[in-house]
A and B are shown apart, each in its own frame.
Chain A
Amino acid sequence: MSQPSPVAYDSKIEGNVIFTRVDAAINWMRSNSLWPMPMGLACCAIELMAASSSRYDISRFGAEVMRFSPRQSDVMIVAGTVTYKMALAVKRIWDQMPEPKWCIAMGACASSGGMYRSYAVLQGIDHLLPVDVYISGCPPRPEALLDGLMKLQKKIMGEHALEDQKRSLVDAL
């Protein structure tokens, strides 16, 4: 009779184990499941819709779940002209989004006020929110939005997933 082996080895489990850092794993999960808050304010929103439709299919990058509740979203895509009348509403929705959260300024208006050098238009949403990715264009094509999304994913992969959050929590306290 053969003795049972002292070394446990299960080929089924062994094949399912990977070694990684917690940061990398969490970032990988976050960056490939970005739920956008579609802040569509002008014509850029049409391109945002096109990006999520069949032809450009933003779901290939895991960002197809447009959430109209800020509580459930990860990335706010500010698509369009932010007027002063709308600005604090955008800020309020941003404040309602749970951490971690990111912001994409889509198009010239959201990035810098665009062609609206005017009394009525906020000269870039970065006056109110911390913007991670700016996308140029008026409006940007869906490919540009996808490129911006991939840039954001790359940025998220380089973050310290937990450390940064702890620090902001400590700062908040």
Chain B
Amino acid sequence: MTAQDSVTRLQERFANSILKAGEFRGENSLSIKIESVREIARFCRDELGFDYLLDISSLDHFGGDPRFEMVYELYSMADGVHLRLKAVVPGEDNPVAPSVSDLWPTADWHEREVFDMMGIRFEGHPDLRRILMWEGYPFYPLRKDFPLEGKPSDVPEVAFTEAAPLAGGPFVTIPTDGITEVREPRARRAGDPLSPDKFLAES
């Protein structure tokens, strides 16, 4: 069964739940309603042969409404076919999506990562804990409104964080014929002026 066949069958079966079907460079994407994710996912797995969940990721459309979106990458081992399901998640303050961890066990950790990094909760997940950061870390680092340098936090006896000195960006070079310290001002602290004058004076 080709990807196009799968899309056609899904469109026949779930006409009301599929909002948009797109194809770009041989990759098929379906935009679906969040409440029918489990239904469609189960159909994809059992009827269409998508036995492998490649990845789960999430998007942050910061400033847009709805803000968050889930992306499921499905793959059929037998047919060698790839299909992408996308579903927007309602609610900015407490986004909740249904868990598919009982359909594909690999979704367990993928959903924990999405929860950890983006703060989307998964209804029906058996063990929704943070997976990369530690329990008690108060932020969701992959959200667009989280600064790259991080924010200070402290969980006593577990971990603390501080804002990193970015000096205007993670990799800053200044066009100058100065020495390395001047050219790549990495020793500066956040808030220092961007001008390299004081470094030039030292060199």
Contacts and interface: CB of A to CB of B under 8 A. Distances in A.
Q: Do A and B interact with each other, yes or no? A: yes
Interface of A: 84-85, 87-88, 112-113, 115-121, 123, 127
Interface in B132-180: 132-134, 139, 141, 146-151, 157-162, 164-166, 170-171
A17 B23 CA distance: 88
Given A85-B133, A85-B134, A112-B186, A119 B146 contact: yes
Nearest to A116: B164
B111 to A, nearest CB: 20
B159 A85 contact: yes
A115 B141 contact: no
Contact of B161 (A84, A115, A116, A117): A84
Contacts of B160: 84, 87-88
29 contacts: A85-B133, A85-B134, A87-B159, A88-B157, A88-B158, A88-B159, A88-B160, A112-B186, A112-B187, A115-B170, A115-B171, A116-B164, A117-B148, A117-B149, A117-B164, A117-B165, A117-B166, A118-B150, A118-B170, A119-B147, A119-B148, A119-B149, A119-B151, A119-B161, A120-B132, A120-B150, A121-B164, A123-B164, A127-B162
A81 B152 CA distance: 19
A37 B161 CA distance: 25
A116 B134 CA distance: 19
B164 A119 contact: yes
Nearest to B165: A123
B159 A113 contact: no
Interface residues of B, number: 24
Nearest to B172: A117
Contacts of A112: 186-187
The 10 closest A-B pairs by CB, nearest first: A119-B150, A117-B170, A117-B164, A84-B159, A84-B161, A119-B141, A117-B166, A123-B164, A85-B159, A85-B134
Contacts of A85: 132-134, 159
A116 B186 CA distance: 11
Nearest to B146: A119
Contacts of A118: 148-150, 164, 170
A119 B149 CA distance: 5
A152 B148 CA distance: 36
B183 to A, nearest CB: 16
A129 to B, nearest CB: 15
Contacts of A115: 170-171
Nearest to A121: B164
Nearest to A112: B186
B158 A120 contact: no
B191 to A, nearest CB: 14
A113 B164 contact: yes
Contacts of A117: 148-149, 164-166, 170
Contacts of B171: 115
Contacts of B149: 117-119
B88 to A, nearest CB: 26
Contacts of A116: 164
A84 B149 CA distance: 13
